[in-house]
Structures are given as structure tokens and as C-alpha cells.
């Protein structure tokens, strides 16, 4: 492994991807919680005309200039989206659909217009479409790092506002915080982080860098601080992992590989997260079902006991099953009752309640209280 | 050849406009974005299986992955672990990534660019032609999109009631025995098929523009579903022709210019739509403000109509001082009041007319 990481290009790319993962992961938490996940998609698509216009107007391919153009276009697109939502009956998805596709189309038109000019020094502009992590330069990584640090400082500084406005904007307003200002802050940070990611993963996949780590982190915790941290960690891990994999395997583009790493993390989180995860939910459901069936069995034994007016009367499994017309095997359930000391098996292989089982059955019948 | 390109453009935009109307009304516009990205792996897998770019299997694969996107996002939403927007945003980048990776790993030596899928090139569509027994029948895309257009019209005619009902009142639809889920999937099949058909003309991202922008524009112009569908088709066709013409002149991507033209039309509607445009809303608000102020003026004059006060209170100048109106606004209101025949002005002193009195009394009764 040490051999891999001494590779200069890989180290640059991996570091760039890691910084990007941290920034977008942390900020993505707010986007996801505020149900603005797809705003990132709109912003990143909409940044394309900004990139091309910056190139046309200033005539340089310096990434800083192009990214400033991208940020401005992304910002204008956001304003359009918000204005459409506020002023018309078109819902947020429609507004985003219109703005992202029209801006992207505009960008495409400009891009092809530039490309059709004879002095074609524009090569490399379309790397922003899909990203080209391998072309990352150390100064790009430095930019990403600086932006990451600024973002995180902003986040710490305005933590209370961000938190309040993500969960209860009305209450926040009543306390005198400006929802509008916080909105603008968060959106601006999201725009900036998207723009820095364009070089690495490209316009189309960038939104996923915001959504996937945050949606994964959400499954593991209910605390905002933990979620943001975890999300940043997921972002960083995927960045490094994706960059490494794509350099080890030929013809494996970096951006999509990072996204698939993120998706894998999300699937793992979805399945295995304690508490919220699908598997733990399934386990819980089966456990509850089993506990419920135990209680029912106990009551059945109690019912048989009552019928025969004596505690000494034991029954075979078939009889017990017949009470509720059970199809399945009750052997395991009976064994469990036995291990809890609530039922016992006579030498003839017949089952009956113990004294503790008897009191337990009465308890269940009276209060429906849970056992154990 | 230009005529053929224009025909393809019109057919494509018309076919896209129909499912777009329902996407916008159902607030699931971004499903088209998701589907349009997610068809890529389907196309690639179809291509890898058949090694042909015109095989119908590509179509089947793409529609299948399009529906897979819908299914996966809806399953994710149903787990209640992620919200709707995040679910969509998780599914399609993953599928799209798989597509990009498949392209770059396995199709290196063939002409199947992600660029081509994503961006499309309208101008090249006449090059791929269909011929029957040596007879040239025209561009393949025109036939494909024409067929899809007819299919969409068919869906519209056949399921109009169901689509309308499930769009506006799901509960009612379900109560009447129409399955909203079934209709949703029928619509999504239409979206997928249309997306795949349109992608080599306009590319997968601009399909979103062709679907959503005309419908959103029409939504600002009408309240009637049938008119909205017709308007969307018209807007789509108009801007695709205009966009193509413009792109031809400046030598740029036709699809991009079509999207830009759509954006321009949307912007016009956004600003100037008769009932819902920003400008008309502003105008209406201003009108209401003035109307209200006129009523207030009549009430004020009525209050001070006793002869003693009248000379002091009911002067033009006084309005500015007393009611705290700005001078310009006061003048506008006064003019309006005089125009409506509610107030007479004599030497700077204002008198209510009979009608003005009635208006004031009515306002005070409320």
C-alpha cells in the first residue's frame, strides 16, 4: 500500500477527493435535512454556462476563474429556483427541473459555440462535465483544502443558526434569527462546495457527493453533530477509496468510482445501521413476533390447565397446536418456555405449565404486561 | 435535410411535452432527470449484449433501467429512512456511474461516448436513415419519435380520466377503483420510452428541458388540463424550431439552443403571464392597494363631512399629512377617486359624491 501512496498523482487526487468528500459530506447533511438534496443537482448542472462564459469573457482556463464563473451561475440559478417557487404555483421540483435543464442547455450551447471557433484553445472545458480527477494539480488540492477549512469554520461559527433553521425555522424566526440569512449562508456554502467538486467528479455526479454521505450518516445517528462528522468521514473515505481504486484498475474513471463507493456505504448503512437499519428492524420485528407467540403459547397451556381443573395435567404438542389451529412447529417455543422455567416436559414427552409459568400466564392475562 | 431536422425536432419536443405535463402537475418533475441519467447503463448493457447501436434491445434495456430507477427510489422512500428528494438523488447517480464505468471499461474501441448519450446531436439524426426495399423512408429518429408521439397521444386518450384523477385527487381515484400506482407506472413507462427515444436527438439531460419546461410554462398560462397539454406541445414545437434556427446561425449545439429557447419562453411567461406572471401579480397588487386606498379616502371624507371640519380635514394637502400617504400615492388615489366619480375636488377641498358616500357606508358596514 505504501507503494501506491508514494505515487505523486494518486496522492494529489486522493487528497483532493478527500477534502472534497469532507466538505460536501458535512454540508450535505444540511441539504438532506432541509430536503434540498436535489438543489445540489440543479446547482451543479446550472454552473456549466458560468464556466463557459467565464472562459469566453476572460479567456483563461485558470481553474479559479472558471470556478468563480461556475459559482456565480450556480448562485443565479438558485435565486431563479427560489423565485419561481415563491412567486408561482410551480412546485420546487418543477422549478429545479426547468432551471437545471435550461441552464445546462445554455451552457452546452455556449460550449459548442466556443468549440466551433477556429482558435480552439478551449480543450479541457468539457472535463467539467464528467470531471477529470487525474488532471488535478497540487494547487487545485490546495484550493479545495482552503475552501474546506473555510466551510468548516463557517459551520462551527454558525452551528446554532444552521441547526435551528434546519429543524424548526419558525421557532428560529421567533427567537430573532433570520431564516433568510441562514438560507443564504447555507446555500452559498453548498454552491461553493459543489463548484470545487466539479473538477473531480463533474457536473452530473456532484450532487451525489452531497446526498449519499449525509443520507448514510443519517442512518447511524440522531444527533446533528455526529451526523455531520460521520458524513464528512464517509465522504473522505469514499474519496480516497475511489481515487485509489481507479488508479489501480485501468479504465476506471475516478468520479463514478467515488460515487459507487458512496453508494456502497449507503447500502451498508441502510441495511446494517443499528436501530434504523433494515436488518435490525427485521430482527426486532421477528423477535417481537416470537415473544408474542411465546405469550400466546403460555396462555394456551394455561387454558388447557383451567379446562382440566388441575395443574398436573400434561398435553402433547398436537393438542396444544390445535387450540389456535397452528400450522408451524411449536417445539422451539416450548423449549424456550422450558428454558425460562415456565413449562416442563413430563417423562412421557407431554407438556405442562410450571408454577412460575402459571403466575406468568395470569400476569399476562390480567395486564398484558411484557414478560422478562 | 434541414426540413428533416426540423421534423425530428418538432416530433421529439411534442412527444416529450405530453408526459411532462403530468410530471409537473404531480410534482415529480425530477423523476425525468433521474430516468434520463439512469437509462445510460441500460443502453450500455444492451449494446454490450448485441454490439449494435440500433438494436431494439438497447431500447428495452434503457426502459428497464428507467423503470428500475422509479422502483428503487420508491422502495427507498417506502423504507421511511430517506426523504423523497434524497432517494431520487441516491439512485440515479449510482446507476449513471455504473453506466459511465461500463462505457469506459468495455466499449473503448467502439463509438459509444457518454458525450453522445448525454448531449445528443440533432444535426446528425438525418444521417441514420431507414429504408424499405430500397426506398428511403427518412431518418430513423423521425420514425422512432413519431411512433412515441403517437404512443403518448394514445396514452393520453386512453387514460385521460385516470391520469387526471390520480394527478389531482389520489384518494378519490383510489376510491373509484383506479389504481394510482398502476397509472404512475404507466406514466413512468411513457417517460422512460420517450427519454430513450429522444436521447440521440437531444441527449439525456435536455430531455428534461423538453419535458418540464413546456409544461411549466403552460402551467403558468392556463388552468385547464386539456389546454395545458396542447399549449405544452405548441411551446415545445415552437421553441425547438426557434432554437434549432438559432443554433444553425451561430453554429452551436442544437439541443442546447432548444433548451435555451424553452428557457426564454418560460421566462416570458414567468414575467408576463396574464394571470400568474410576476408583472401582472405586481400590477394587480398595486391595483388592489389603490382601490383600497380610494375606499379609505371616501370613509375619511364621510367622517369629516360636517361643514366645520370639512375645510380643514378634507383638503388635498391634508391627506399627505393625516393619512400618512406619500404625495405621489395620494395624487394617484385622488385621481382614481375622481375618475370613478366618488369624489369631487373644488379649490383643493374634497367633497364626496352620492356614489362615494354609498361606497364609504358600504365599507363601514362590513
User: What is residue B123's DSSP assignment?
Assistant: G
What does the pLDDT look like over A138-147, one tens digit per residue?
A: 888 888 888 8
Dihedral angle at the C-alpha atoms of A224, A161, B87, A39, nearest 10 degrees?
-150
Based on the fold, state whether residues B207 and B291 are members of the same structural domain.
no
Residues B231 and B105 in one domain: yes
* Chain B residues whose beta carbon lies within 8 Å of the beta carbon of residue A208: 89-90, 93-94, 97
Position A372 scores a pLDDT of: 44
CA atoms within 13 A on the CB side of B80: 2
List B139's β-bridge partners, or say none: B129
> What are the 10-residue block averages of pLDDT along chain B, 366 residues in total?
87 94 92 88 86 79 90 90 87 91 74 59 74 76 90 94 91 88 91 86 83 95 94 94 90 87 94 87 89 84 72 69 76 82 78 82 80
Average pLDDT over residues A118-145: 72
Pick B101's closest partner by Cβ from A93, A94, A252. A252
B292 vs B287: CA distance, rounded Å: 8
Asked if residues A138 and A201 have their Cβ atoms less than 8 Å apart, the reply is no
Same domain? For B265 and B334 the reply is no
Among B261, B276, B291, the domain boundary falls at B276
Q: If you average pLDDT over residues A11-39, what whole number do you get? A: 89
Determine the distance in angstroms separating the CA of B128 from the nearest CA of chain A, rounded to an integer: 22
Contact B209 A91 (CB under 8 A): no
Q: Is residue B43 domain-shared with residue B59, that is, in the same domain?
A: yes
The torsion angles phi and psi of B138, rounded to 5 degrees, stand at 105, 180
Q: Compare all CA atoms of chain A with the CA of B114 and give the residue at the minimum distance.
A: A130
Categorise residue B265: left if φ over 0, alpha if ψ from -120 to 50, beta otherwise.
alpha
Report how far residue A130's alpha carbon sits from residue A212's, in angstroms, rounded to the nearest whole number: 18
Judge whether A102 and A44 are in contact, CB under 8 Å: no
Query: How long is chain B?
Result: 366
Q: B75 touching A, CB under 8 A?
A: no
Do residue B268 and residue B284 come from a single domain? no
Report if residue B305 sits inside a domain.
Answer: yes
Alpha-carbon gap, residue B195 to B33, rounded angstroms: 10
Q: CA B240, CA A110: separation in Å to the nearest integer? A: 17
Q: Is A108 within 8 Å of B94 when comparing Cβ atoms? A: no
**pLDDT score of B307:** 64
Q: Is B30 touching A (CB cutoff 8 A)?
A: yes
CB A350 within 8 A of CB A315: yes
Are B253 and A108 in contact (CB < 8 Å)? Answer: yes
Q: Which of A94, A109, A266 lies nearest to residue B24, judging by beta carbons?
A: A94
Contact at CB, A41 and B33, closer than 8 angstroms: yes
Read off the pLDDT band of A371 (50, 70, 90).
Answer: very low
Residue B262 lies in a domain: yes
Per-residue confidence (pLDDT) for residue A165, from 0 to 100: 86
Question: Above 60 in pLDDT, residue A1?
Answer: no
Q: Which residue has the higher pLDDT, A41 or B320?
A: A41
Is residue B132 a part of any domain in this protein?
Answer: no
Distances (CA, A) of B20 to A91, B17, B121, B218, B273: 14, 5, 22, 11, 20
Q: Within this chain, do residues B103 and B60 fall inside the same structural domain, yes or no?
A: yes
> Any idea what the Cα angle at residue B239 is, between residues B238 and B243, rounded to 5°?
125
B294, part of any domain: yes
Quote the mean pLDDT of chain A: 84
Residues 6+ apart with CB under 8 A from B61: B41, B42, B43, B45, B46, B49
Least CB–CB distance from A97: residue in B32, B83, B101: B32
How many residues does this entry show for chain A?
Answer: 372
d(CA B173, CA B300): 53
pLDDT band for position A334 (cuts 50, 70, 90): confident
Distance CA A337, CA A10 (A): 60
Q: Does domain A280-367 have CATH number 3.90.420.10?
A: no
A236, A229 Cβ separation under 8 angstroms = no
CA–CA separation, B277 and B267 (whole Å): 9
Residue B239 sits in the same domain as residue B257? yes
Domain match, B297 and B270 both = no
CA distance A371 to A283: 19
What whole-number distance in Å separates Cα of residue B165 and Cα of residue B22? 11
Smallest Cα distance from A277 to chain B, Å: 8
> Residue A56's pLDDT is what?
86
Q: How far apart are alpha carbons B198 and B203 in whole angstroms?
A: 7
CB nearest B212 (choices: A97, A255, A276): A97
Q: Could you tell me the residue range of the domain that residue B72 belongs to?
A: 2-124+137-276
- Please say whether the beta carbons of A34 and A183 come within 8 A: no
pLDDT value, residue A97 = 92
Alpha helices in chain A, H assignment, sequence order = 2-5, 8-33, 37-58, 63-87, 92-115, 127-130, 138-157, 159-167, 169-174, 179-220, 224-248, 254-272, 278-307, 317-323, 331-339, 355-367
- Please give the tally of structural domains in chain B: 2
* For range A62-77, the mean pLDDT: 87
Interface with chain A: mutation pick from B9, B83, B212, highest number of A CBs within 10 Å = B212
pLDDT of residue B120: 66
For B88, residues 6+ apart whose C-beta sits below 8 A from its C-beta are A37, A38, B30, B31, B33, B34, B73
Whether residues B151 and B295 fall in one domain: no
- The whole-angstrom distance between residue B270's C-alpha and the CA centroid of its chain comes to 10
* B81 inside domain: yes
Domain spanning A2-276: which CATH class is it, in words? mainly alpha
Note whether A70 and A46 are within 8 A (CB): no
CA distance B267 to B231: 16
Helices (H) and strands (E) in chain B, counts: 16, 4
Residues B258 and B283 in one domain: no
A121 to chain B, closest Cα gap in Å: 17
Task: Measure the CA–CA gap between B176 and A170, rounded to whole angstroms.
Answer: 39
Contact B206 A104 (CB under 8 A): yes
Asked if A297 and A317 count as a contact pair (C-beta separation under 8 A), the reply is: no
B105, A251: Cβ pair inside 8 Å? yes
How many Å apart are CA B196 and CA B207, to the nearest integer?
9
- For A247-284, letters b (16+ CB in 10 Å) and e give beeeebbbbbbbbbbbbebbeebbeebeebbbeebeee
Higher pLDDT, A286 or B344: A286
Assess if residue B325 is contained within a domain: yes
ipTM score: 0.85
Residue B130, in any domain of the structure = no
Q: Is A167 on the interface with B (CB under 8 A)?
A: no
CATH number, position B106? 1.10.3470.10
Residue of A108, A113, A212 lying closest to B90 (CB–CB): A212
End-to-end CA distance of chain B: 69
> B115 and B183 share a domain?
yes
Using an 8 Å Cβ cutoff, are A104 and A48 in contact?
A: yes
Structural domain includes residue B336? yes
Identify the domain boundary among B228, B255, B276.
B276
Give the distance, in angstroms, between the CA of residue B88 and the centroid of all CA atoms in the same chain: 20
| Beta bridge mates, B346 | B349
The arithmetic mean of pLDDT across residues A161-180, rounded, is 86
> Which residues in chain B (159-218) have CB-CB distances under 8 A to chain A?
203, 205-206, 208-209, 211-213, 215-216
Distance from CA of A291 to the nearest CA of B (A): 24
Q: Are residues B191 and B304 in the same domain?
A: no
Q: What is the CATH number of the domain that holds B351?
A: 1.10.10.10
A/B interface, count of CB pairs below 8 Å: 210
Phi, psi angle pair for A252, to nearest 5°: -115, 100
Print the SS3 string covering A179-196: HHHHHHHHHHHHHHHHHH
Q: Strand A351-353 to strand B129-132: parallel, antiparallel, or no bridges (unpaired)?
A: unpaired
pLDDT tens-digit readout, A224-260: 999 999 999 999 999 999 989 988 888 888 889 999 9
What is the H or E stretch that residue B350 is in? strand B349-352
Amino acid at each position: 500500500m505504501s507503494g501506491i501512496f508514494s505515487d505523486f498523482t494518486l496522492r494529489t487526487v486522493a487528497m483532493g477527493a478527500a477534502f472534497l468528500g469532507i466538505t460536501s459530506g458535512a454540508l450535505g447533511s444540511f441539504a438532506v435535512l432541509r430536503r434540498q438534496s436535489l438543489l445540489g443537482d440543479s446547482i451543479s448542472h446550472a454552473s456549466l454556462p458560468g464556466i463557459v462564459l467565464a472562459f469566453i469573457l476572460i479567456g483563461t482556463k485558470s481553474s479559479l476563474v472558471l470556478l468563480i464563473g461556475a459559482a456565480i451561475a450556480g448562485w443565479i440559478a438558485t435565486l431563479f429556483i427560489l423565485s419561481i417557487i415563491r412567486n408561482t404555483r410551480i412546485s420546487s421540483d418543477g422549478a429545479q427541473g426547468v432551471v437545471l435543464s435550461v441552464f445546462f442547455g445554455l451552457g452546452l450551447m455556449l460550449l459548442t459555440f466556443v468549440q466551433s471557433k477556429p482558435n480552439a484553445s478551449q480543450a479541457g472545458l468539457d472535463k467539467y462535465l464528467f470531471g477529470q480527477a487525474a488532471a488535478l494539480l497540487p494547487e487545485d488540492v490546495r484550493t479545495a483544502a482552503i475552501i474546506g477549512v473555510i466551510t468548516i469554520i463557517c459551520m462551527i461559527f454558525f452551528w446554532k443558526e444552521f441547526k435551528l433553521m434546519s429543524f424548526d425555522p419558525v421557532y428560529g424566526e421567533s427567537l430573532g434569527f433570520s431564516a433568510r440569512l441562514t438560507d443564504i449562508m447555507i446555500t452559498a456554502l453548498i454552491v461553493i462546495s459543489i463548484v470545487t467538486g466539479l473538477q473531480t467528479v463533474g457536473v452530473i455526479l456532484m450532487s451525489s457527493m452531497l446526498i449519499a454521505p449525509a443520507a448514510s450518516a443519517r442512518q447511524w445517528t440522531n444527533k446533528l453533530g455526529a451526523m455531520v462528522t460521520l458524513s464528512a468521514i464517509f465522504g473522505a473515505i469514499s474519496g480516497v477509496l475511489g481515487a485509489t481504486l481507479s488508479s489501480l484498475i485501468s479504465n476506471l474513471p475516478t468520479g463514478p468510482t467515488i460515487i459507487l463507493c458512496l453508494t456502497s456505504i449507503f447500502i451498508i448503512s441502510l441495511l446494517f445501521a443499528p436501530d434504523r437499519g433494515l436488518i435490525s428492524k427485521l430482527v426486532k420485528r421477528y423477535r417481537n413476533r416470537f415473544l408474542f407467540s411465546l405469550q400466546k403459547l403460555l396462555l394456551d397451556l394455561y387454558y388447557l390447565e383451567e379446562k382440566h381443573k388441575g395443574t398436573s395435567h400434561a398435553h402433547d404438542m398436537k393438542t396444544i397446536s390445535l387450540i389456535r389451529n397452528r400450522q408451524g412447529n411449536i417445539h422451539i417455543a416450548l423449549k424456550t418456555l422450558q428454558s425460562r422455567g415456565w413449562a416442563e416436559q413430563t417423562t412421557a414427552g407431554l407438556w405442562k405449565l410450571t408454577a412460575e409459568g402459571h403466575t406468568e400466564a395470569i400476569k399476562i392475562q390480567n395486564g398484558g404486561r411484557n414478560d422478562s | 435535410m434541414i426540413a428533416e431536422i426540423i421534423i425530428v425536432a418538432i416530433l421529439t419536443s411534442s412527444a416529450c411535452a405530453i408526459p411532462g405535463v403530468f410530471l409537473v402537475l404531480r410534482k415529480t418533475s425530477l423523476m425525468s432527470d433521474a430516468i434520463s441519467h439512469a437509462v445510460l447503463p441500460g443502453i450500455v448493457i444492451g449494446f454490450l449484449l448485441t454490439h449494435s447501436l440500433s438494436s431494439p434491445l438497447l431500447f428495452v434495456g434503457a426502459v428497464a433501467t428507467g423503470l428500475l430507477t422509479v422502483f428503487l427510489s420508491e422502495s427507498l422512500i417506502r423504507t421511511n429512512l430517506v426523504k423523497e428528494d434524497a432517494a431520487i438523488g441516491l439512485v440515479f447517480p449510482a446507476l449513471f456511474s455504473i453506466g459511465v464505468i461500463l462505457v469506459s471499461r468495455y466499449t473503448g474501441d467502439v463509438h459509444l461516448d457518454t458525450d453522445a448519450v448525454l448531449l445528443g446531436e440533432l444535426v446528425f439524426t438525418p444521417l441514420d436513415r431507414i429504408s424499405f426495399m430500397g426506398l428511403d423512408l427518412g431518418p430513423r429518429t423521425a420514425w422512432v419519435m413519431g411512433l412515441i408521439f403517437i404512443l403518448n397521444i394514445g396514452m393520453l386518450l386512453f387514460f385521460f380520466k385516470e391520469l387526471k384523477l390520480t394527478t389531482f385527487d389520489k384518494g378519490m381515484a383510489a376510491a373509484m377503483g383506479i389504481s394510482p400506482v398502476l397509472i404512475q407506472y404507466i406514466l413512468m413507462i411513457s417517460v422512460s420510452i420517450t427519454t430513450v427515444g429522444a436521447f440521440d436527438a437531444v441527449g439525456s439531460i435536455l430531455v428534461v428541458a423538453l419535458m418540464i419546461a413546456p409544461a411549466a410554462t403552460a402551467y403558468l398560462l392556463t388552468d385547464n388540463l386539456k389546454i395545458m397539454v396542447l399549449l405544452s406541445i405548441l411551446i415545445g414545437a415552437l421553441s425547438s424550431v426557434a432554437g434549432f434556427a438559432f443554433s444553425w446561425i451561430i453554429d452551436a449545439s442544437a439541443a442546447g439552443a432548444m433548451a435555451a429557447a424553452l428557457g426564454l419562453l418560460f421566462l416570458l411567461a414567468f414575467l408576463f403571464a396574464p394571470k400568474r406572471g410576476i408583472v401582472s401579480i405586481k400590477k394587480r397588487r398595486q391595483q388592489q392597494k389603490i382601490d383600497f386606498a380610494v375606499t379609505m379616502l371616501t370613509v375619511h371624507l364621510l367622517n369629516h363631512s360636517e361643514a366645520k371640519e370639512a375645510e380643514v380635514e378634507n383638503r388635498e394637502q391634508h391627506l399627505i399629512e393625516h393619512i400618512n400617504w406619500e404625495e405621489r400615492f395620494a395624487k394617484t388615489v385622488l385621481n382614481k377617486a375622481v375618475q370613478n366619480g366618488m369624489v369631487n375636488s373644488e379649490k383643493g377641498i374634497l367633497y364626496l359624491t352620492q356614489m362615494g358616500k354609498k361606497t364609504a357606508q358600504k365599507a363601514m358596514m362590513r
